[in-house]
Amino acid sequence: MPTALIVEQLLNGVQFGIMLFLMAAGLTLIFGVMGLINLAHGSFYMVGAFACAAVAAATGSFWLGLVASLAAAAALGALVEVTVIRRLYARDHLDQVLATFALILILSEATRWLFGSFPLYLNIPPLLGGAVALPGGVQYPIYRLAIIVAGLAIGVGLYLLIAKTRLGMRIRAGESDREMIGALGVDIRTLYTVLFALGSALAGFAGAMVGALQSVQVGMGEPVLILAFVVIVIGGIGSIKGAFVGALVVGVTDTMGRVLLPPLLAAAIGPAQASGIGGALASMSIYIVMALILAFRPRGLFSAQG
């Protein structure tokens, strides 16, 4: 197997991982601080992608589309939080699952109503088009590198936010003891709305960026949602660092698994059987990794909860 291919796929794995990190970061904060399981997180991913595609098509500018995706996802997140999510904090996980499952139905159908059932297309902006030569003879798309860079930048920004700002302090305090920060006079309701909107915005941004690589369609968020949950469970609920590490583990495992397993299996059992089973094993690989990690670290790698 040529090195160039492996390096390219490795970078793809990292890019996939970075995108998952954007999804997982919001999810882990929301679950860690508010104790809320949010199945509708994938819907904000989708909304961000649609907003970007629609605005980009209308204005001709990808960048405006990107801004729109952030704004739309954040605004929708805030709206949903105030009307529905707020009532769920005191309820058990089962009720949260059902309610956010209902939100998926509502948001998906609403999107289909607005935009129809056919996928939208989003073009990579000319500034980020083309490929760049990397050591090892790889021609790697600039856009994918841009995603990696953007994701890392956001990761650093989130870290600084959590570790160095007052908002971050309140978030960390909220993770350890919800009742205390209320008693200390922090406005919990606003904090939660802001946090939820922030998480949704991150998801929307991820959706928009990926929308240029794949198509923008209803339901695009669901497979990503499941993976994001796997990421936060591996990384440890409530931990941004865990979300980062977990996302890279999942992204690279999944991508490299798809690349390496079929040929490895073909060598062992013959090519005819290998491609089907290889694909299956590759899809299963992430879940196997998750089960293994939970077997040894039942709370994930970097659990923020004592």
Partner 1 sequence: MRREPILNAALALLLLAAPLAAFVLDEPFYISLTTRIVILAIAAAGLNLALGFGGLVSFGHAAFFGIGGYAAGILAAHAFNMEPLLGLPATDLMPTIWIVAVLICAIVALPIGAISLRTSGVYFIMITLAFAQMIYYFAISWPAYNGEDGLSITVRNAFPGLNTANPLSFFLVCYLVLMAVLAVIWRLRDSRFGAALQASRQNAVRVSAVGIRPFRIRLVAFILSAVITGIAGALFADLNRFVSPSMMSWQMSGELIVLVILGGTGRLFGPVAGAILYVLLEFMLGGITERWQFFLGFILLGVVLFARGGIVGVIAGKVRHD
List the one residue from 5, 102, 180, 184 that touches partner 1 (CB under 8 A).
Answer: 102
- Residue 90 is a binding residue for partner 1 (CB under 8 A): no
CB of 174 to partner 1, least distance (A): 18
- Residue 230 is a binding residue for partner 1 (CB under 8 A): yes
Binding range to partner 1, per CB under 8 A, among 15-23, 110-118, 120-128, 162-170: 110-118
Q: Which of residues 171-210 bind partner 1 (CB under 8 A)?
A: none
Distance CA 63, CA 135 (A): 30
* 105 vs 184, beta carbon nearer partner 1: 105
List the one residue from 7, 67, 71, 84 that touches partner 1 (CB under 8 A).
Answer: 84
Task: List, in sequence order, the alpha helices (H) in 84-187.
Answer: 93-115, 142-164, 166-176, 178-183
Distance CA 29, CA 191 (A): 12
* 209 vs 245, beta carbon nearer partner 1: 245
CB of 261 to partner 1, least distance (A): 11
Binding range to partner 1, per CB under 8 A, among 4-12, 71-79, 172-180, 289-297: 289-297
CB atoms within 10 A of CB 235: 30
Q: Scan for tokens 């003879």, then name that residue.
A: 137
- Residue 29 is a binding residue for partner 1 (CB under 8 A): no
Task: List, in sequence order, the alpha helices (H) in the chain.
Answer: 3-34, 41-59, 62-83, 93-115, 142-164, 166-176, 178-183, 188-211, 221-235, 240-269, 271-296
Binding footprint of partner 1, residue count (CB under 8 A): 45
List the one residue from 68, 195, 210, 237 that touches partner 1 (CB under 8 A).
Answer: 237
List the one residue from 64, 226, 264, 266 that touches partner 1 (CB under 8 A).
Answer: 226
Beta bridge partners of 140: 132
Residues 6+ apart with CB under 8 A from 209: 19, 66, 147, 150
Cα 83 to the center of its chain, rounded Å: 24
Distance CA 202, CA 205 (A): 5
Helix-helix angle 41-59:93-115, to 10 degrees: 20
- Residue 279 is a binding residue for partner 1 (CB under 8 A): yes
CB of 166 to partner 1, least distance (A): 29
Binding range to partner 1, per CB under 8 A, among 16-24, 194-202, 251-259, 290-298: 290-298
Of 35, 24, 10, 32, whose CA–CA distance to 203 is shortest? 24
- Residue 1 is a binding residue for partner 1 (CB under 8 A): no
Of 287, 223, 236, whose CA–CA distance to 25 is shortest? 236
Residues near partner 1 (CB under 8 A) are: 31, 37, 39, 84, 87, 91, 93-95, 97-99, 101-106, 108-110, 112-113, 222, 226, 229-230, 233, 237, 273, 276-277, 279-280, 283-284, 287-288, 290-291, 294-295, 298-300
